[in-house]
Amino acid sequence: MVNFLVDLNDPVIKGYLINLVGEEGYKVVANMPEGEVTDEKIAQATGVLLNIVRRTLFILYENRLAGYRRERDTDSGWLTYLWKLDLSNLNRQLELEAKKLLKNLKTKLEYEKDKVFYICEKQDGRFLFEIAAEMEFKCRFCGGELVFEDNEPVIDALKQRIEKLEDLTSSSGAAA
């Protein structure tokens, strides 16, 4: 099996795969038979519905985590697809996801740093200053008063997540 001893129970790997293919798709990955197998055999072996197996295999293929080979039956002319899991590209996919997340976190940080927010005293909403002023500092949902929100804790949390992700992505890049 070309899985380079990937620990499918690792929380990061498991989380990534579940996010990518869903809970049922994860069952396909975790229980997929070794070697080249048909989607029908995968469904049989994993207990997952055939249409979910096919969807999962297609997503894995799109993300370079599975491959297939086609065989044509000389008598009937039917094509058979033989699938094989290949998780050797998983670390690269995780790096790409981490970089995408890092970019999104930096965008969110800039947004938080540049804005002033007001929140409903009953926690029904969070509004930019301009919108809160237009609403005369009354919540559009409950009519409660809007009060200034110190978003420094949000900014600090974003900075910490960014720092941790940068450490992870730079150290994995150095090791590769």
What is the DSSP annotation of 45-85?
HHT--HHHHHHHHHHHHHTTSEEEEEEE-TTT--EEEEEEE
Backbone Cα Rg of the chain: 24
Q: Which residue has the higher pLDDT, 147 or 4?
A: 147
Torsion sign (Cα): 105, 110, 115, 116: positive
- Residues 146 and 98 occupy one common structural domain: yes
The 10s digit of each residue's pLDDT in 114-152 is 999 999 999 889 999 999 999 999 999 999 999 999 999
The 10s digit of each residue's pLDDT in 23-80 is 999 999 999 999 999 999 999 999 999 999 999 999 999 999 999 999 998 999 999 9
- Residues 80 and 101 occupy one common structural domain: no
- Whether the model pTM is above 0.75: no
- Residues 63 and 105 occupy one common structural domain: no
Using the 3D structure, point to which of 70, 85, 100 is the last residue of a domain. Answer: 85
Mode of pairing for the β-strands spanning 117-120 and 126-128: antiparallel
Q: Which domain holds residue 31?
A: 11-85
Average pLDDT (93-121) is 95
Q: Is there a contact between 82 and 38 (Cβ–Cβ < 8 Å)?
A: yes
